[in-house]
């Protein structure tokens, strides 16, 4: 009488039920309801039960790629419209970009040879300033735009492009393409066991082999330039596909998808409330008096094509009515709880975007030092996860590989395989003095190294230490004693006994001397 569908048993309407329903429908209905109740009792999860409490709850078992193929373009277009016109959506996206990228994620070559690392880093620095194929910004600007496209549109593509070598420059540039460039309508079985799904070509082992892309943006409706609407094959080795994987999926969706309906509903409600307030404010009062038969309201009016009179409302309007000699002023109704309702909705929207409410709205009235720190710490964990699990391996590492390969092919470096270490931007401290004391104690205790503390702040430890050494050497040459020099000054601000340049102190009286 039962059949299994997934993990939830489902009661089937059998031939006996049909026969009983033809002669005694009420008995058949009660019998079926009892069987449904028994089946629900056997379920281990209440959320899997079927009944009044779960009526209308529809859940599909489709694959992530199948859902994205259907809903992806609509979600992308609606999210972009919200970011263009809704201040909360625009701010949420900006907060995420600020924290994931900020001033930039810097690489450092780690070959083990100091001179080689310094030369490769200088080569990267010169290339990064002119790596944008469109010529607008540098590598950090390209990275920031790529992350913004991933958050707003769900995904973005970076395409490797060769350029003519000039002098000692690396012959490489990066072109960003929006998700719309992918020919998502292309599905095909390829010879040899490969396939194409949503414009992404896979080999027989399921690994990406190529992307089928439109050279021009399909949404460019310029009447001057003719668009190229035929997709072309771009090898996967020339493409970096940046998107967040929330399931086993091949494409991404906008990060604000869970909050899109709430954003839309909140905006509609605010507009409706504003129109209601404006309408109430238009009618100042109503005058009741003994007017002539032909007296009319002084409200501005127009006539349509059929000669019908149409009243219009304007601020400060006073209407006239017959009967009595009195004037009554309109008192617009007050709406209680608007602020609380708005705050609840904005908390929901902030949760959907995964950003703290205070950062999205700028409202710090409900926070204190401890609560803000707890919220910021959890937000930072999410940001670090995105930096190290998504942005760096899917975008930064791929660009570094292209850079090393292009520099090696141009004879600028000795090997195309250069180890690299990435330094994301540091987080601003809520309590700088307290955090600095904690970092100092951890370093002195050996829990962390000085290089790690410098890298955590987004700087290159080698450059900082070299600069510090040159500053201290100059201070010794000029016979200056700096309070920041731990060789000469203690933490308490006292002069060190064995500071550089000081004579050897005399041994203590009565002490034993050793040869």
Residue-wise pLDDT tens digits, 269-319: 888 888 888 777 776 666 665 455 454 555 555 555 666 555 555 665 555
- Nearest of 165, 167, 172, 117 to residue 142 by alpha carbon: 172
Whether residue 306 lies inside any domain: the answer is: yes
Tell whether the model's pLDDT for residue 6 goes beyond 60.
no
Tell whether the model's pLDDT for residue 336 goes beyond 80.
no
DSSP SS3 for 226? coil
Position 483 confidence tier, pLDDT thresholds 50, 70, 90: confident
Whether residue 343 lies inside any domain: the answer is: no
Stretch 18-29: mean pLDDT, rounded?
78
Position 420 confidence tier, pLDDT thresholds 50, 70, 90: very high
User: How many structural domains does the chain have?
Assistant: 2
Percent over 70 (pLDDT), the chain: 79
Position 454 confidence tier, pLDDT thresholds 50, 70, 90: confident
Please give the residue range of the domain that contains residue 45: 2-54
Output b/e per residue, 8-45; b: 16+ Cβ within 10 A. Answer: ebebeeeeebeebbeeeeeebeeebeebeeebbeeeee
Position 5 confidence tier, pLDDT thresholds 50, 70, 90: very low
**pLDDT score of 375:** 78
Q: What sign has the CA pseudo-torsion 239, 240, 246, 247?
A: positive
Whether residue 493 lies inside any domain: the answer is: no
Non-local (6+) Cβ contacts of 422 within 8 A are: 105, 106, 107, 108, 392, 396
Whether residue 337 lies inside any domain: the answer is: no
**pLDDT score of 392:** 97
Whether residue 74 lies inside any domain: the answer is: no
**pLDDT score of 97:** 97
Tell whether the model's pLDDT for residue 325 goes beyond 90.
no
In contact, 327 and 286? CB cutoff 8 Å: yes
Q: What is the spatial distance between Cα 490 and Cα 207, in angstroms, rounded to a whole number?
A: 59
Tell whether the model's pLDDT for residue 323 goes beyond 90.
no
Which residue, of 329, 362, 388, is where some domain finishes?
A: 329
Whether residue 498 lies inside any domain: the answer is: no
Q: What sign has the CA pseudo-torsion 213, 214, 216, 219?
A: negative
Angle at 500 between CA 499 and CA 501, to 5 degrees: 110
Which residue, of 22, 38, 54, is where some domain finishes?
A: 54
Whether residue 425 lies inside any domain: the answer is: no
Q: What is the spatial distance between Cα 130 and Cα 174, in angstroms, rounded to a whole number?
A: 9
In contact, 75 and 254? CB cutoff 8 Å: yes
Q: What is the spatial distance between Cα 133 and Cα 114, in angstroms, rounded to a whole number?
A: 31
pTM for this entry: 0.76
Which residue, of 288, 313, 329, is where some domain finishes?
A: 329
Tell whether the model's pLDDT for residue 177 goes beyond 70.
yes
Whether residue 388 lies inside any domain: the answer is: no
Kindly state the helix (H) or strand (E) to which residue 22 belongs, with its residue range. helix 15-23
Q: What sign has the CA pseudo-torsion 371, 372, 374, 379?
A: positive
């Amino acid at each position: 009488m039962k059949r299994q569908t997934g993990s939830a048993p489902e009661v089937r309407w059998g031939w006996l039920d049909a026969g009983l329903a033809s002669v005694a429908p009420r008995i058949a209905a009660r019998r079926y309801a009892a069987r449904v109740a028994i089946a629900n009792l056997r379920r281990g999860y209440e959320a899997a039960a079927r009944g009044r409490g779960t009526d209308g709850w529809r859940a599909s078992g489709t694959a992530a790629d199948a859902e994205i193929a259907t809903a992806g373009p609509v979600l992308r277009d609606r999210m972009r419209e919200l970011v263009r016109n809704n201040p909360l959506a625009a701010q949420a996206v900006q907060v995420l970009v600020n924290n994931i990228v900020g001033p930039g994620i810097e690489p450092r070559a780690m070959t083990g040879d100091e001179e080689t690392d310094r030369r490769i880093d200088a080569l990267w620095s010169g290339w990064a300033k002119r790596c944008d194929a469109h010529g607008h910004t540098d590598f950090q600007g390209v990275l920031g735009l790529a992350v913004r496209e991933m958050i707003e549109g769900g995904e973005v593509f970076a395409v490797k492009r060769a350029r003519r070598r000039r002098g000692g420059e690396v012959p490489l540039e990066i072109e960003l393409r929006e998700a719309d460039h992918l020919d998502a309508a292309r599905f095909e079985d390829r010879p040899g066991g490969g396939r194409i799904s949503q414009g992404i070509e896979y080999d027989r082992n399921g690994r990406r082999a190529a992307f089928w892309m439109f050279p021009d943006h399909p949404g460019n409706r310029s009447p001057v330039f003719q668009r190229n609407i035929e997709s072309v094959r771009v090898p996967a080795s020339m493409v970096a596909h940046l998107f967040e994987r929330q399931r086993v999926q091949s494409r991404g969706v906008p990060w604000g998808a869970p909050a899109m309906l709430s954003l839309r509903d909140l905006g509609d409600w605010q507009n409706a409330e504003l129109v209601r307030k404006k309408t109430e404010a238009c009618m100042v009062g109503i005058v009741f008096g003994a007017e002539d038969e032909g007296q009319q309201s002084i409200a501005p009016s127009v006539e349509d094509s059929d000669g019908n009179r149409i009243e219009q409302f304007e601020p400060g309007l006073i209407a006239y009515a017959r009967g009595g000699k009195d004037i009554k002023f309109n008192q617009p109704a007050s709406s209680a709880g608007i602020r609380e309702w708005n705050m609840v909705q904005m908390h929901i929207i902030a949760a959907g975007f995964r950003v703290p409410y205070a950062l999205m709205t700028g409202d710090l009235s409900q926070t204190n030092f401890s609560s803000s720190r707890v919220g910021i710490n959890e937000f930072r964990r999410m940001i670090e996860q995105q930096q190290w699990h998504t942005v760096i391996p899917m975008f930064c590492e791929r660009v570094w590989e292209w850079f090393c390969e292009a520099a090696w092919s141009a004879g600028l470096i000795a090997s195309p395989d250069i180890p690299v270490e990435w330094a994301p931007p540091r987080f601003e401290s809520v309590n700088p003095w307290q955090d600095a004391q904690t970092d100092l104690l951890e370093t002195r205790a050996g829990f962390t190294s000085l290089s790690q503390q410098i890298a955590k702040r987004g700087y290159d430890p080698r450059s900082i230490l070299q600069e510090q050494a040159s500053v201290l050497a100059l201070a010794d040459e000029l016979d200056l004693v700096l309070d920041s020099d731990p060789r000469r000054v203690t933490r308490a601000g006292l002069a060190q006994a064995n500071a550089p340049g000081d004579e050897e102190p005399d041994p203590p009286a009565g002490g034993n001397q050793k040869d």
